[in-house]
């Protein structure tokens, strides 16, 4: 442990580990052996928070979630440091000695394997331990955003301020934004970081404004609120699109931004919408967002998706074969959250049922072999109405507007094709006479055979109906 050069410190740390091991249940002890202080012990005395690192993500979760109080007490007893303890994951640390797993520990790991999202643990400043740069697979789709994020975590508040990360849902914006937080914590453990979602920010603001009894109460509550968001070195605000058009929150974000920006603090926003698609924000706030840089994350290509799902599988302690990774990456091609969700679902089930995860098993677990939904006139009408943006009742009426006529003719055609109903029965359902129905069906059939666009529409509708 290079950081514990000083003999006294080394002894104090060993003392702490030894006491902790004695205090906590036996199965925890192999994880305790691997703990290391992030800073030299007594340098920590300047901070309120005591950072402890380890390479064992699950061990950290157990200690943080179940034994934090004992860890803090023991730290105080052995080192005289009264601090809030926070654990950080550092996969670069080599485990001390390959410990033989105890039975109890094995059981815990089994449970962990079966948990859908074992790494979903939030540490002190609201960061998810999984969302680090090390766990982010960089691809062409994210290279620009990734490089800027890295630069920011080396020199926060200096260049690229604010960073505005945009991209559609499930593409890694939150991950990348939190990776900045983790890295800054590692590079500069004294800096204060706050991660919040815009909605949480807005709700807390309104709560502070609404719940006060008198002016001094209001002032006190607002002081606390502002302190929480302005008394930081790095502010990460996620899902900022939420504020668009919410005047009071926009104003508070504007003031928070100015206070932090002028003090040289780093601000990062993430948004499901590009800045250009914000419609209602006031110009002065838009211009603040534009002061820095916007980095857009796009959909990753197949190779990157394969890499992402494999990495996620390894992290979750349940690796998958190349075939299964390829299958998942092909099926889930536009949202990594869904891709990981599919993996979580099938790996949890395979591990509980003790079967080997093959592509066929994956298909079965994901319902690919399930019988197609039962088709009814009702759902043909609903799908066609939705597709052409009309009402179901319009289709059954005699209205002649273009979209309604279109919706009606496809609904009639598909009812005949998919349900094989007789013309008189269809006539009854569609409230028309049966020669009209027959004519409509024959006409569209002919049109489809000659017109590619109409064929595509029919196929799309047919797929939607059967989905
Ligand atoms: P967003 O905020 O854009 O909606 P998230 O950051 O929440 O998306 O990402 C959804 C999930 O996909 C997370 O579990 C995240 O770790 C994972 N993910 C997304 N992109 C990547 C990537 N490039 N490498 C590794 N994991 C990723
Ligand atoms: Mg997000």
Q: Please give the distance, rounded to the nearest whole angstrom, from the Cα atom of residue 169 to the centre of ligand 2.
A: 7
**Do 358 and 425 have their domain in common?**
no
**Do 149 and 290 have their domain in common?**
yes
Q: Give the residue from 425, 434, 432, 375 showing the smallest Cα distance to 405.
A: 432
Which residue minimizes the CA distance to atom 23 of ligand 1?
137
Q: Please give the distance, rounded to the nearest whole angstrom, from the Cα atom of residue 221 to the centre of ligand 2.
A: 28
Please report the pLDDT score of residue 148 as a whole number: 98
Which residue minimizes the CA distance to atom 19 of ligand 1?
172
**Do 330 and 403 have their domain in common?**
no
Residue 130 alpha carbon, nearest atom of ligand 1: 16
Which residue out of 171, 177, 270 has the highest number of ligand 1 atoms within 8 Å of its CB and is therefore the one to mutate?
Answer: 171
Please report the pLDDT score of residue 260 as a whole number: 97
- Is residue 128 situated within a structural domain? no
**Do 11 and 69 have their domain in common?**
yes
Cα–Cα distance between 400 and 383 in angstroms, integer? Answer: 19
- Domain around 271: 143-297
**Do 336 and 399 have their domain in common?**
no
**Do 291 and 215 have their domain in common?**
yes
- Is residue 44 situated within a structural domain? yes
Query: Which residue, of 246, 274, 297, is where some domain finishes?
Result: 297
**Do 46 and 67 have their domain in common?**
yes
Is the CB–ligand 1 distance for residue 336 below 6 Å? yes
Is the CB–ligand 1 distance for residue 310 below 6 Å? no
Is the CB–ligand 1 distance for residue 177 below 6 Å? no
- Contact predicate 168/241, CB 8 Å: no
**Do 155 and 263 have their domain in common?**
yes
> What average pLDDT is seen over the chain?
86
- Is residue 137 situated within a structural domain? no
Please report the pLDDT score of residue 395 as a whole number: 94
**Do 260 and 156 have their domain in common?**
yes
**Do 201 and 287 have their domain in common?**
yes
| CATH at 446 | 1.10.1750.10
Question: pLDDT for 17-75, tens place per residue?
Answer: 999 998 887 777 778 888 988 777 776 555 566 878 888 777 787 787 678 899 999 99
- Is residue 14 situated within a structural domain? yes
Which residue out of 130, 175, 311, 333 has the highest number of ligand 1 atoms within 8 Å of its CB and is therefore the one to mutate?
Answer: 175
Please report the pLDDT score of residue 105 as a whole number: 53
- Is residue 127 situated within a structural domain? no
Q: How many domains, the chain?
A: 4
Question: Whose atoms come closest to the Cα of 332: which ligand?
Answer: 1
**Do 158 and 177 have their domain in common?**
yes
| CATH at 338 | 1.10.8.60
Please report the pLDDT score of residue 120 as a whole number: 32
**Which parts of the chain register pLDDT below 70?**
1-5, 43-49, 65, 91-126, 370-373
Residue 176 alpha carbon, nearest atom of ligand 1: 6
Residue 139 alpha carbon, nearest atom of ligand 1: 23
- Is residue 1 situated within a structural domain? no
- Is residue 219 situated within a structural domain? yes
Query: Which residue, of 297, 329, 354, is where some domain finishes?
Result: 297
**Do 415 and 288 have their domain in common?**
no
Please report the pLDDT score of residue 100 as a whole number: 52
Instruction: Provide the residues around ligand 2 (an ion) whose CB is within 5 A.
Output: 174
| CATH at 20 | 3.30.300.180
Is the CB–ligand 1 distance for residue 169 below 6 Å? yes
- Is residue 123 situated within a structural domain? no
């Amino acid at each position: 442990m290079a950081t514990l050069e000083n003999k006294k410190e080394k002894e104090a740390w060993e003392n702490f580990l030894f006491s902790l091991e004695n205090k906590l249940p036996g199965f925890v002890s192999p994880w305790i052996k691997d703990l290391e202080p992030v800073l030299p012990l007594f340098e920590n005395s300047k901070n309120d928070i005591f950072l402890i690192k380890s390479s064992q993500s699950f061990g950290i979760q157990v200690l943080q979630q179940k034994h934090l109080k004992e860890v803090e007490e023991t730290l105080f007893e052995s080192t005289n440091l009264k601090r809030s303890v926070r654990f950080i994951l550092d996969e670069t640390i080599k485990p001390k000695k390959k410990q033989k797993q105890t039975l109890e520990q094995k059981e815990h790991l089994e449970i962990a394997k079966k948990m859908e999202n074992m790494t979903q643990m939030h540490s002190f400043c609201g960061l998810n331990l999984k969302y680090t740069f090390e766990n982010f697979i960089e691809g062409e789709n994210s290279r620009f955003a990734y490089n800027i994020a890295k630069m920011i975590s080396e020199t926060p508040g200096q260049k690229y301020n604010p960073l505005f990360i945009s991209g559609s849902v499930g593409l890694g914006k939150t991950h990348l934004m939190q990776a900045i937080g983790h890295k800054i914590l590692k590079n500069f453990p004294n800096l204060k970081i706050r991660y919040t979602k815009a909605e949480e920010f807005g709700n807390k603001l309104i709560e502070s404004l609404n719940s006060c009894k008198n002016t001094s109460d209001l002032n006190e509550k607002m002081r606390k609120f502002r302190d929480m968001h302005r008394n930081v070195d790095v502010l990460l605000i996620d899902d900022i699109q939420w504020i668009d058009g919410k005047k009071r929150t926009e104003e508070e974000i504007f003031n928070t931004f100015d206070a932090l920006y002028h003090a040289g603090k780093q601000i990062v926003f993430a948004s499901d919408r590009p800045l250009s698609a914000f419609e209602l924000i006031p110009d002065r706030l838009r211009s603040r967002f534009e002061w820095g840089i916007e980095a857009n994350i796009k959909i990753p290509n197949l190779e990157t998706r394969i890499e992402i799902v494999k990495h996620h599988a390894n992290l979750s302690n349940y690796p998958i074969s190349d075939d299964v990774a390829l299958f998942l990456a092909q099926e889930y091609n536009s949202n990594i959250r869904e891709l990981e969700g599919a993996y979580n679902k099938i790996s949890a089930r395979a591990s509980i049922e003790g079967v080997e995860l093959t592509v066929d098993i994956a298909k079965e677990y994901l319902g690919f072999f399930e019988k197609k939904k039962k088709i009814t006139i009702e759902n043909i009408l609903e799908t066609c109405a939705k597709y052409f943006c009309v009402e179901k009742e319009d289709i059954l009426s005699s209205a002649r507007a273009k979209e309604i006529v279109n919706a009606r003719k496809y609904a009639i055609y598909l009812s005949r094709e998919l349900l094989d109903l007789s013309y008189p029965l269809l006539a009854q359902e569609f409230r028309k006479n049966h020669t009209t129905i027959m004519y409509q069906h024959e006409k569209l059939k002919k049109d489809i055979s000659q017109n590619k666009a109409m064929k595509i529409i029919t196929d799309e509708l047919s797929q939607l109906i059967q989905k």
